[in-house]
Chains A and B, each alone.
Chain A
């Protein structure tokens, strides 16, 4: 009976959105921390190339987190 009464589309949407957004956003924040910290360390050591690469990673991670939060709020406010 459960198979026929559950709104599977909605439930599966909750599952995949939660997995992608939950794991993705936390991972993106991890990369933001990794990138920004390593960029500062390499910058202090004068290794400009590595500092730039990690800096880009840090900024990308941070932007991804903010973008995901803004996107989620925009989607929700459209309900």
Chain B
């Protein structure tokens, strides 16, 4: 009975993480379409939410990587508590970075949290550090934004050569129409890569609980549907915040740049999803946006965003790992039953409320690094 309660808590925590992922990432997915006026804000947000939902059904390669290739979970209560510790570690790190305005990546936080918690719970032998963490997470995490930067840059250079001598009116209209397609693909790609990370973690918990045999990996349908729903709801709810802040926080780009950036981001994320690389979608989209800007004019690029990506890349994995490990240890203070997860969940909930209240009283984050719009 105790382990069933822990499974329910882990699944609920994972879905909350998925919701916040969608909530934070709405800006990345819809900002370009809205800033170039390719779509009205409300329509763009609804469209992105629907395609996030659909995207979660497209592939399961990333879920398989998260569940099989990063850590090895034992089918017992220790394994279950390790998954819980990893999830809470990722959420706690995201909350801390949000409060202090530090750059972060939800995807890297999730992987880092899992690695840290499993390392503490089951030892170094349970971490696939070289082929999993380095080979399938860290190296792709570095390559993807760089690749998106190059693809975005080459795309916009090519586009300007093709349509450069045409009258601006039809070209702008044509690219705005094209952004309906490229923005949709980007939302689909986001749902495909990010929702699967949650599916992978929930599946890990089910393996730890013995619900799924370790040698019979599959993602149950209810896991796919619930993860898709959570990220889509998060995207939709987060969109209203974006709509309210439009005009002040999103820099202008022309429709061709928007089309090129969305196309580059979508192709890199979809290609990576096909081979099972769990990427930071925010970093990849940011790379594409910076690339399409740099190809036009270097001074138009917000190089601070590029710096934030590097800082986040260096910080997030180890920091989330430490918090994930610490969370597991705290949970174990209360034994291997449901008491630990219940107490830790309550504490993290209280901590979240306190941080929200403090931020609302003190205004902007006190951090020295400009707050990223989001990061996953």
Q: Mark A residues whose CB is within 8 Å of B.
A: 1-2, 4-7, 10-11, 13-15, 17-19, 21-23, 25-27, 29-34, 36-38, 65, 69, 72-73, 75-77, 79
At the interface, is chain A mostly helix, strand, loop or mixed?
helix
Taking CB atoms, residues of chain A closer than 8 Å to B150 are 19
Whether B166 contacts A33 by the Cβ 8 Å rule is yes
Whether B271 contacts A21 by the Cβ 8 Å rule is yes
> Nearest CB to that of B62 among chain A residues?
A79
Whether B181 contacts A26 by the Cβ 8 Å rule is no
Judged by a CB distance under 8 angstroms, whether B9 is at the interface is: no
CB distance from A51 to the nearest CB of B (A): 15
Given A15-B143, A19-B151, decide whether A30 and B271 contact each other with a Cβ distance below 8 A.
no
How distant is the Cα of A58 from the Cα of B270 in the complex, in angstroms? 26
Taking CB atoms, residues of chain B closer than 8 Å to A1 are 130, 134
Given A5-B131, A5-B135, A31-B162, decide whether A13 and B155 contact each other with a Cβ distance below 8 A.
no
Please, could you name 23 A-B residue pairs with CB atoms under 8 Å apart, sorted by A?
A2-B139, A5-B134, A6-B134, A7-B131, A7-B136, A7-B275, A10-B276, A11-B140, A11-B277, A13-B274, A19-B147, A19-B154, A22-B154, A23-B151, A29-B259, A31-B162, A32-B174, A33-B166, A33-B178, A72-B270, A76-B270, A79-B59, A79-B61
How many pairs of A and B residues are in contact by the CB < 8 Å rule?
Answer: 132
Taking CB atoms, residues of chain B closer than 8 Å to A76 are 58-59, 192, 270, 273-274
Judged by a CB distance under 8 angstroms, whether B267 is at the interface is: yes
> Nearest CB to that of A29 among chain B residues?
B178
Whether A18 contacts B267 by the Cβ 8 Å rule is yes
Taking CB atoms, residues of chain A closer than 8 Å to B270 are 72, 76
Selected from A10, A21, A22, A72, the residue in CB contact (under 8 A) with B275 is A10
How distant is the Cα of A46 from the Cα of B60 in the complex, in angstroms? 54
Whether B274 contacts A37 by the Cβ 8 Å rule is no
Interface positions of B from 131 to 167, Cβ below 8 Å from A: 131, 134-136, 139-140, 143-144, 147-148, 150-152, 154-156, 158-159, 162-163, 166-167
For chain B, give the interface size range. Answer: 35 or more
Taking CB atoms, residues of chain A closer than 8 Å to B264 are 18, 22, 26
> Nearest CB to that of B130 among chain A residues?
A5
Q: Mark B residues whose CB is within 8 Å of A.
A: 58-61, 130-131, 134-136, 139-140, 143-144, 147-148, 150-152, 154-156, 158-159, 162-163, 166-167, 170-171, 174-175, 178, 181, 185, 192, 259-260, 263-264, 267-268, 270-277
Given A2-B139, A23-B158, A76-B59, decide whether A30 and B268 contact each other with a Cβ distance below 8 A.
no
CB distance from A11 to the nearest CB of B (A): 6
